[in-house]
Amino acid sequence: MENFINLPVEKQTTIIDAALLTFGTNGYKKSSVSDIATAAGISKAMIFHYFGTKKALYFYLVEYCGNLIINEVKEKFDNSVTDFFDRIMLASNIEMSVIKKHPATITFLKNVYFEDNSEVKDDLKSMFAQGEDFRSKIAFEGVDTSKFKEGIDLKLIVKMLMWLTDGFMSSYNNGAAQDFEALCNEFFECMNLMKRNFYKEEAL
């Protein structure tokens, strides 16, 4: 990977965007190193020179996208926010702003999210588990749970949020920027609906 890291940033970005687009369009199995090389305007041999294997390139991209989002959230998240839903929406807003700045990531991440190829599935599960640890910290560390109605199961709410995320990802169909914006708005409407139904009236 050192040979790739030593490339000029502009060249790295060209290769990354080409690979994100190819994997995002075709999925892991149907994406070929040749297709990625053609999209990047370099030879197939250079892709192998930089990454070794298609799988190594794929997981480099997964880690690259994850770090883009996590680093931005760490930098911009306001830990003084104690409202559960406000924390989730704040983190989601930051994540979505990253995706808007790097539009090639959304289609790739959608395919990663639903990827079931046996060659990468188990490793992806492990990476997703690490991401869940980070999200749990965002959701629960320092949160004010007193706003919830009696008997509300927070673990069940987290499951509902995961289902909501599944729906968000599956609804995005590689569309235009305005389609992604519309989906984001619907996502936040759902969050506000949950807030109104799960919080005590005096906490709203």
Q: Which two tokens stand for residue 127?
A: 């990476």
Report pLDDT for 162. Answer: 86
Using CB atoms within 10 A of its CB, is residue 45 exposed (0-12), middle (13-18) or buried (19+)? exposed
Of the candidates 128, 158, 9, 136, the residue with the CA atom closest to the CA atom of residue 65: 128
**Cα separation of 34 and 24, whole Å?**
15
Q: Is the pLDDT of residue 133 over 90?
A: no
Q: Which residue has the tokens 């994540």?
A: 95
Which domains does the chain carry?
2-203 (1.10.357.10)
- For residue 185, give the H/E element and its range: helix 177-198
HSE-CB of 78 using CA atoms within 13 angstroms:
10
**Cα separation of 198 and 56, whole Å?**
44
* Per-residue pLDDT band at 173 (split at 50, 70, 90): low
Report pLDDT for 176. Answer: 59
Q: Which two tokens stand for residue 34?
A: 């040749």
CB count within 10 Å of CB 50 equals 20
Q: Mean per-residue pLDDT for 117-127?
A: 91
Q: What is the DSSP letter of 26?
A: H
With vertex at residue 146, the alpha carbon angle to CA 140 and CA 147, rounded to the nearest 5 degrees, is: 95
**Alpha carbon distance, N-terminus to C-terminus of the chain:** 51
**Cα separation of 125 and 172, whole Å?**
22
3-state secondary structure at position 168: helix
Q: What is the pLDDT of residues 36-58, one digit of tens each?
A: 999 999 999 999 999 999 999 99
Report pLDDT for 99. Answer: 85
3-state secondary structure at position 117: coil
Q: Is the pLDDT of residue 183 over 70?
A: yes
Sign of the alpha-carbon dihedral angle for 128, 191, 100, 29? positive
Report pLDDT for 189. Answer: 94
